[in-house]
Amino acid sequence: MNKLLVICLLLVGFYSAQAQSIKPSEVPTAVTSVFKKNYPYATDAKWENADGMYEVSFKNANKDISVLYSYKGELAMTETPCEVSALPANIMAYLTKNVVGAKITEASKLVDAQGIVSYEVEANNTDYLFTANGQFLRTLENDDND
């Protein structure tokens, strides 16, 4: 199970680094149909493509959400913001011990298609990936600082 989680997280990091913005008209119908069915009240949808995977970032009930789909419209992963206070204690312990002056600026809960939960935390302009119980996995290249 941990291998599957690591593979999914590596894919997310790779796709995030390689993604290109696209127009909604460039997204396969299978993907947009599933998206519209699952999130009928989504607004401000922005699409990206990376090697056949489609990520849509949008607002739903005033929450920022990102969803990653295969070209067939199969759900690969969802990402939703979470409060720092909701993070597992092990994450806070890791950051306190290993990141000098760690200041968390963003935290997200990731759930893959199999329901495996992980967390992505941005601290000091670096993204850190953790398992559901707060075990550190790796850092991600942060492309939001441009």
Residue type, 126: T
Give how many domains the chain has, as a whole number: 1
CATH number, position 28:
3.10.450.360
In a domain, 145, yes or no: no
Tell me, what's the pLDDT at 146? Answer: 39
Q: What is the per-residue pLDDT for 6?
A: 44
**Is residue 35 domain-resident?**
yes
Q: What is the residue range of 53's domain? A: 2-140
The DSSP secondary structure of the chain, one letter per residue, reads -HHHHHHHHHHHHHHHHH-EEE-GGGS-HHHHHHHHHH-TT-EEEEEEEETTEEEEEEEETTEEEEEEE-TTS-EEEEEEE--GGGS-HHHHHHHHHHSTT--EEEEEEEEETT--EEEEEEETTEEEEEETT--EEEEE---TT-
Mean of per-residue pLDDT scores for the chain? 87
Is residue 33, in this structure, part of any structural domain at all? yes
Q: Give the total residue count for the chain.
A: 146
Q: Evaluate whether residue 146 is within a structural domain.
A: no
pLDDT tops 60 at residue 73: yes
State residue 74's pLDDT score. 96
The model's confidence at residue 51, banded by pLDDT at 50, 70 and 90, is confident
pTM: 0.79
**pLDDT tens profile 112-135:** 999 999 999 999 999 999 999 999
Question: Tell me, what's the pLDDT at 15?
Answer: 45
Mean pLDDT along residues 53-66: 93
Question: What is the pLDDT confidence band of residue 28, given thresholds at 50, 70 and 90?
Answer: very high
What is the rounded distance in angstroms from the CA atom of residue 98 to the CA atom of residue 78? 28
The answer to whether residue 31 scores a pLDDT higher than 90 is yes
